[in-house]
Structure 1
Amino acid sequence: MGREFIGPSMLRQMRGRAGRQGKAPIGETYLCCRENDLEQVVELMNAELPPVASCLNTENRRIQRALLEVISIRLATSHESILDYFSKSLLNHTQNAKFVNDCITSSLEEIESMGFVTRDSLSMFTATQLGKAIVASAIDPDDGVFVHNELSRALQAFVMDGEMHVLYTFTPVQEFGVMVNWQVFRNEMEGLDESGLRVLRLLGIKPTTILKLAQGATLRETTPEEKQIARVHRRFYLALQLRDLCNEVPIHIVARKYDVPRGMVQNLSQTCQGFAAGMIKFCEQMSWGVMAAALDHFSDRLVAGARADLLALAKIPFIKSRTARVFWENGFRTVGTIANADPAELLPVLMQAQPNKIRLKGKDNEKYEEKLLVKAKVISDAASKIWSESSFHLSDLTALPDTYTLKGLQMQSELEEE
């Protein structure tokens, strides 16, 4: 995946998806590779599956995450009940008892020192507000410290007149093994507007440092502080990619522009939505309601992968990003116009939105058009359903008190425009 070979387990998983259940008794898979990689690929195909191992044994923070979860939901709150809980884990059955006990004890001390849990006079553990926020947002404890510091700083000065600060906040903090092309970073930095430059300053990214790195200098990562600064730089580099994705730039163009594997950009586009939802949950759990509302307002663009003017269209099935833009450019700019259109009118638009590589003739082209016509009917029906629901919601608003009149008038205006 990306620059690395997949493992035997992932290969078996992919092979297991071959064929169609109930349609054929077998399924065929083809593994394509370059000639230079043939020997390694043959070894991969013949490799034995690795034995099943506990994920808690891979990294200590996995145990910290598991401990934080059971304490947060009050499943186990004393040292004895925690040991009893982990006695039923795979880790306990593959490692000796002393190793498991030492891991649990040290992990409890670490999450307590980081302020995720507290211990009372009876040695009972309780999750703090920060600990509960980390559990709710589904991030690792180490990442939780980083996220908390970043959001705390954003609360003091959040840049609202641009999109870069929100996109940076929505950029996953997990390490994707990204290698920053500092010359590309410099070029993108020089193209930022005043709002984007303010985000750089608030994050502690210095333009002079970027210029030096683009000329061949090395970003130091020896001390914990330097590692944190480097992490911010890499995360902002990913945020620049996320910005382009939200502005409807295709994945392959983003990958080429930022000199990263296409799979890595695709992974970013898929994981950012879940991470964004986690950040909203984090803010809500920390009682940062204003921040949560600001982030939630922008999250629809991540799902749609498009600019704000296409958000309404992107709610319709089969209409995402590029297809939505084609509909917009052809005059179908609202859900209402698509709902009121005949499916046959939508067919040329769908044909236009298809990849250029599709070239069919004769009967194949007729069959393809028939499939697109079925798709157009699904789009039309879905748009009609969305349109009806919005109209029904508007009729409900008319029965509400006068305090809701303004909101009702705003919705009425939008519907009339459509």
Structure 2
Amino acid sequence: MRGRAGRKGKDEVGETYLCCTSKDWEDVVGLLEAELPAIASGLAPGRAGIKRALLEAIATKLVSGRDAINDYIRSSLLFHNDEAQDTLFDMVQSTLQELLDSKLVKLSNDETFEPTQLGLAIVASAFSPDDGLFIYGELKRALQAFVMDGEMHIFYMFSPLQASSEIDWMAFRDEVHGLDDSGLRTIRLVGVDPGLVNSIAMGHASIKDPALLRVYNRVYTAFQLRDLSNEIPVSSIAKKYNIARGAVQTLAQNCHGFAAGMAKFCQRMGWDMLAVVLEHMRDRLQAGARADLLEMAQVTYVKSRTARLLWENGFKTLRSLAEAAPSELVPVLMMVSWP
């Protein structure tokens, strides 16, 4: 899609050119001619927005007392929705109680709300309250028994909470069968039963519990992150796990932000050793390469395949790369275009 929205004070309309295939024509026309849906508040009942909004307002000291909280709510779109006004402040009070019960905020002696260390960590990491509590539980268990003789546990920690693709249980089973002792200890520790994976792949069982299914989805995603960090091409990963190539690329992009949030969460909770481990692995995820290529991958436009070719041809440091003559580099760079 290409176009411009126009210039304020200069134009009344903007122009957009959209190119599509003939099979998509009807869908595109329907989209362009459809009526715009009414704006709805993200704080409406049934959504998690109100809990997050209140936690962030308290954590950033935007509000603290009940009167200030009520004034804050009166400034929302939801307050100006006539249908919600009757129950809005009851919902606010129940949400505040939920935040107290989950120990994300506390009530001081002067009846004002203050964030707890956990509440501050969740806000600093840009997680929702529910996701933050789930991550807190996962990290607490990891601190008690972190599998350090392999990488699988760290990749699991960096797996986004929302599944990006459906699980191919046959592929899942193959990956589980290929794990070493460290990897098997990791998946068992987080709650994956290899026997159940085999039963599901054979069509003899299924997972009904959404919380448990989330764990299996994250382990499945962890396999993909592991392969990305081990310099396996995106196309090979997509074929291996029976997912779209774009889904792998989206995962690679999304996990960077999630990994940064995880590291920030650990720092705010005072878990510095775990934060250091996560930061190192975050660099590997960003580079899409093994640890020995991290320095070379800092060079602009040098991706993992190019970095590996440079490494294998003797350019193992930034200094050696900077001092190399163009005649030395061109033959190596020409290899990048060949499979």
In the superposition, the TM-score normalised over structure 2's length comes to 0.89
Q: How many residues align?
A: 330
1:138 to 126, 136, 139: 126
Letter in 1 for 2:214: R
1:267-346 pair list within 5 angstroms: 267-346=250-329
Letter in 2 for 1:237: Y
1:355-370 pair list within 5 angstroms: none
**What residue number does 1:3 align with?**
none
1:83-102 pair list within 5 angstroms: 83-94=70-81, 96-102=84-90
**What residue number does 1:248 align with?**
231
Q: Deviations over 1:320-369 (max 9, x none)?
A: 2122122223332221121002335433333332377xxxxxxxxxxxxx
Q: Deviations over 1:48-93 (max 9, x none)?
A: 4434433333853221111111111211012211121122223333
1:67 to 25, 33, 54: 54
**Preserved CA contact (<8 Å) 2:3 2:15:** no
Q: Deviations over 1:280-324 (max 9, x none)?
A: 111111111221122122221011011111111001111121221
Give the direction of change, closer, same or farther, for the CA distance of 1:186–1:114 in structure 2 (3 Å limit). Answer: same
Give the whole-Å Cα distance in 2 for the aligned partners of 1:255 and 1:55: 34
Give the whole-Å Cα distance in 1 for the aligned partners of 2:223 and 2:123: 28
Give the whole-Å Cα distance in 2 for the aligned partners of 1:106 and 1:87: 17
Identify which range, 244-253 or 69-78, moves more after superposition. Answer: 244-253
1:111-190 pair list within 5 angstroms: 111-176=99-164, 178-190=165-177
1:196-275 pair list within 5 angstroms: 196-221=183-208, 226-275=209-258
Give the whole-Å Cα distance in 1 for the aligned partners of 2:333 and 2:32: 40
- Residue 99 of structure 1 and its aligned partner are, at CA, apart by 4.2
Give the whole-Å Cα distance in 2 for the aligned partners of 1:323 and 1:198: 34
- Residue 26 of structure 1 and its aligned partner are, at CA, apart by 7.2
**What residue number does 1:106 align with?**
94
The structure where helix makes up a greater share of residues is 1
Identify which range, 142-151 or 318-327, moves more after superposition. Answer: 318-327
Give the whole-Å Cα distance in 2 for the aligned partners of 1:341 and 1:278: 38
Secondary structure of the residue aligned to 1:118 is strand
What percent identity do the matched residue pairs reach?
48
Give the direction of change, closer, same or farther, for the CA distance of 1:116–1:352 in structure 2 (3 Å limit). Answer: same
Give the whole-Å Cα distance in 2 for the aligned partners of 1:175 and 1:350: 37
**Preserved CA contact (<8 Å) 2:3 2:17:** no
- Residue 256 of structure 1 and its aligned partner are, at CA, apart by 1.9
- Residue 121 of structure 1 and its aligned partner are, at CA, apart by 4.4
Give the direction of change, closer, same or farther, for the CA distance of 1:164–1:141 in structure 2 (3 Å limit). Answer: same
Give the whole-Å Cα distance in 2 for the aligned partners of 1:17 and 1:235: 40
Give the whole-Å Cα distance in 1 for the aligned partners of 2:178 and 2:4: 44
Letter in 2 for 1:172: P
**Preserved CA contact (<8 Å) 1:71 1:127:** yes
Give the whole-Å Cα distance in 1 for the aligned partners of 2:320 and 2:38: 56
Give the direction of change, closer, same or farther, for the CA distance of 1:31–1:51 in structure 2 (3 Å limit). Answer: farther
**Preserved CA contact (<8 Å) 1:143 1:174:** no
Give the whole-Å Cα distance in 2 for the aligned partners of 1:330 and 1:124: 64
- Tell which structure's C-alpha radius of gyration is larger: 1
Q: Deviations over 1:258-286 (max 9, x none)?
A: 12233322221001111111111111111
Unaligned runs of 5+ in 1: 1-13, 19-24, 357-418
Give the whole-Å Cα distance in 2 for the aligned partners of 1:316 and 1:211: 43
**Preserved CA contact (<8 Å) 1:60 1:107:** no
1:42-61 pair list within 5 angstroms: 42-57=29-44, 60-61=47-48
**What residue number does 1:31 align with?**
20
Give the direction of change, closer, same or farther, for the CA distance of 1:321–1:189 in structure 2 (3 Å limit). Answer: same
Q: Deviations over 1:134-192 (max 9, x none)?
A: 1111111111121111111100111111111011111111343x311111100000001
RMSD: 2.4
Give the whole-Å Cα distance in 1 for the aligned partners of 2:249 and 2:268: 30
Identify which range, 328-337 or 192-201, moves more after superposition. Answer: 328-337
Give the whole-Å Cα distance in 1 for the aligned partners of 2:230 and 2:261: 22
Secondary structure of the residue aligned to 1:55 is coil
In the superposition, the TM-score normalised over structure 1's length comes to 0.73
Give the whole-Å Cα distance in 2 for the aligned partners of 1:307 and 1:330: 17
Give the whole-Å Cα distance in 2 for the aligned partners of 1:242 and 1:40: 34
